[in-house]
Structure 1
Amino acid sequence: GLEIIISEAAAGEAIILEGSFDSITIEADDVNIVTQGETNIEEVVVKEGVKGAAISLGNDTIITKLVADARIGVEGEGTIIEASGEEVRNSTFAKDPERMITPMAPSIGGGGGGSSGGGTPSTVAVSAITVSPTTLTLTAGGATSTITATVSPENATNKNVVWLSSNPAVANVDGGVVTPVAEGTVIITATSAADGTKSATSVVTVNAAVNNEPQMTASPTQVTVESGFNQTFTLTIENDTVTNAVYTEYILLGGVFAEMNLGDIDRSNDTTVTAAVYGNLTNTGIGKITLDADALVNSESNLTVSVTVVEGTVGAITVTGNAVVGATLTAETNPDTATGSYQWQSNNNGDWVNIGTDSNTYTIDVEDVGNAIRVVFEAFGNYTGEVKSDAVGPVVPEGPNNGTDDGEFFVDAVKDKVTIVNGDGDIDGYTAHVYVDGTLVESETL
């Protein structure tokens, strides 16, 4: 077991014990010892001159020998096998020791006579303990608050209370005064120093600290790289206001915005400024916008906000134009500033075959008759993504039957022999082109 000396430095403290001990020596005033669980103590010595000492014995505590050379109050249902000492007669016990050895009373005036009777002064045990409030909400780093413990009955011999926090990193407690430390929830427990089985709790919620420092936010918070970048940012101030006039020199650009230009600066209201930023934004990263302290009423420091610059993503590509031989199809990306490569494709038998050149336009050829046309766009540079347009077609020949009148028309035949009848002479002078399976087999002017 352990030998423990409770020195004068521990005066007024509450000490909780559990386990096996060879000896406990009390030298401090107003100390409260609370035992819990299965605790065995060979000897407890209360030194002469100690004042206000108290012990609360748990039900499973056994003290083999108590030497009370100073008065002590003992609460609880634990067992004391033997109690002795100069002040044992003046000490109080909620449960009498199994054996008490009292010092012999001195003789008076040298005369004889019998000894006077001894007795144990009455002790009033603790019946209950309550706390108020039972719930409490505080702010981290903010004001403290006090939880009050009430011990019943009012005339209890020992009304001292031991305070405990379930998580001192969130909130700690000292004599019922709760100090909020960090965001979270803790349970504050008040336990009777006289009887460890009597306790009450309060749930304390600690909210995150409130930031009252001036700060600034920007909208939007993310933009994409663009050669012709032009964006108006809304700067919103919190916990401060802007001066009556905000000038261009009050705005500083940094990060990937360092080489950009400032356009119009506008003070929308007491807490809002808009700033136009334009130029060739080619690098991804963080762009910074700083508002000088001279533009703020109270703050003595500049305010800076960060904007994330990311690569652009191509969302879609569309094709416009008629699916007619000789017509030009035009592709347009979204966004239209995206850089990348174009690959036009033709499909007749279920397979897409590359055609055309790397351009956003394609002029339909006679070989495309009967086929569907689409374009594939693969982004590069400061953009990412690959998109495919919807198919256009099938392609039809050019001629009178499709609304053209340029002196020729096309026939897609099954066989290499076809008869063209010019009954009314409406197509005199037209050139007929006959195709079989996409191959020109004959051209003839009518």
Structure 2
Amino acid sequence: MKKNSIISIIIILLILLTAILFVRGCSQEGSEMKSYTVAGTYTETATYQNGEIKVSGVNIENATFTGNLTVVDSVVDGDIRLTNSAVQGELLVKGSGTVYLDGGSYQNVTLEKQGVKLVLLGAATIENLTARAAATIIVDNQSKVKTLNVDKAANRTSITTQENGTIENIQSRGISDILLNTPAKLIGFGTNASGSTLVSNAVIEKIVAESKVTLTLNANVGTVLLTATGEGTGIILGNNAVITSLATETRVEITGEGSITSATTNDVLNITGTITPDVVYITTKPVVTDANGGLTVSTNTNRTADTNSGSGSSSSWYSNSSSSGTIINSKYDAPPLNPVDPVDPPSPPTPPSPPITIPVEAIQVTPVEADVIMGNTLKLNTVIFPANATNQTIIWESSNTNVATVTNGVVTPVANGEATITARTQDGNKTDTCKITVKTNIAAVTMINTINATNNAIAETIAYDSSYNLPVVVIVQGYGSDVFPCSVTWTPNTVDTKKVGETLYTGTLVMPAGYVNLNNVEASIALTVTAQPLITASSELSSQRIYLNEDPAPIFVEASVTEAKTLTYQWSYRFGDSEIPMPEITGPIYDPPVSTTPGTVYYTCVISSENAEPVTVLAGIVVTSADPAILPDAAAPVAVDESIPTAPAAADLSEMPTINAQPTSISQLSGVALATSLAQATRTAQAALGTPKADITTATFTVDAQVNDGGELTYQWFESADAINADGKPIDGATGKTFAVDTSGPAGTTYYYVEITNTKAGCLPVTAVSLPVSLTIV
């Protein structure tokens, strides 16, 4: 019978062990959250629902996250690497310096950390990549990104593809700098991407620019679309690159060594530079929306312009489109005058006739009005009527040569202002004019807060909670050596000097009259607020037991502070319900006076420093007995003159006990909690073997003290609700060096201390007090 009971117990234990191993295995696969809190390489092949990376130096291999994986913002810098892993939800990057994705697949990747670097290696693939803050993105090896979005707030995001790494579509809503060494389908620049750059060394199917950008194209492009908001865009064609189709609603300058097969525009003057399209189509709306909601080139044109007809100043390489009605631009062009019908030459007489002189009847200058930026020039176009007028000579004049000069129709700006350029025919003194406004483009911010700016920016470091005001004016550079003050509006508009770390403040320049900011130059201040000073108090609580009229020992505090700050001290004491400040005590040590009043006095010191949170320390407790330090005279009576008052003799004091080992605090499971945690695992065994008698669970405190004067040490333990070693409740029977506490009661914290009294024959007893210790039952 006994043998069968033992076998039953073994079987039950094996079943319990199997269940525990099964539960642990289930928790490994598909667990709700995986946290990485220690740097290192994690090579397990496992599947998790979500994950958090809380430290740098983590390398995750072969893991799958069915939900999201987050690099938390407390990871300030350092590297994170995912190797052949998969994130089916979102990989959210709030922290880290560089994130490497070496192989693997990622559905959505979002970059929220300012300045983070993302490197794709191996055959890594990303379905959707979004930069919400300025970042550096490198797509290398065989990696692929289907769609990359650059948010408006992610200004100056850098994007590079190299080797065989590709990005299929890029939508830049903020300023970005793109270098493509591999083919792409679509590159788009939104209305807030002004100042972006694209350098392409591989074929691109389509480029759409809705803001002013610079395109350097060293490989063929299928279609380039420029909307009206992309005015000032520049295209540089290198390596004999070809744009198959260009559509522009605004002015664009095209230079370099390539060619444009065809162009569609609403104004022939929109296309400037050294490269002329082979064919130009004229229509009222060159860029239209296709059936899929995207932008495409309009096909609603009936006539093409001849780019090779005509010569001299009267040549025109454009023509009307019957669908557009007219090609006249209300701002830049004036209606052409009707040319005089040529007179049919008379029948030649028999003798030769003298040559016929055809007089000039009118001249037209385009544009009618234009802005010219300092450092640039403007070529004015002219048409003489009739086209076959004999004398085509034109004399050019400027109404203000201090603002602009003109030579052979080329206007050169001199200084900000307005001037009227007049084209005058030598024959007939016919005139037409163009109003020129000269403006200066901002080149750079040169000074912020009296500090020379580098790349329009400065960096400063200030103390925590100090004063800092953003400047209302910065110094900017115009054309050449022209520098001048310029108002600025900041974002954020105020400085939070309690926000520890670096904050970037961006300033938008407010242009004075005559100045423009075509490159969207902004001032910036990288302001670093140092950490708040931290005060650390390291001294222990001093507790004294003295007799009436005895002089207590000095009380002191020990403390340190970070950031090289200076500490200050302010003492006070509490007697009864009264708190009395001592403003005259300003050092780390206080020597209390002779104690003439029985009772307990608590001495507190407030430790302060500039910009730091003050620390209040209970430095010392002095408990004064109602008895003076005097023993009654035990000698034989001696006759004395009773008329003369005498004072009793002061007694010797026993030696102050020395505490060699203080009691230590304890944290322990209560008997109830411990029994509950074991009950589930042992219930079956107890049923088979019988329920044993429960032992009482206790916690034991110990103190060690000594004296060298031959006195006898006695002990009394006290209980207190607070972490102080005075005014406690004496515990009955707790009079030894050790003290055991029953922990089977409810959870909570109780404080204990022990008074150690040395009693030597012929001397008054002296008491030492231990530090308060805690018992925490959980």
Q: TM-score surpassing 0.5?
A: no
Give the number of the structure whose alpha-carbon radius of gyration is greater: 1
Higher relative contact order (CA 8 A, sep 6+): 1
Q: Which structure shows the bigger proportion of residues in strand conformation?
A: 1
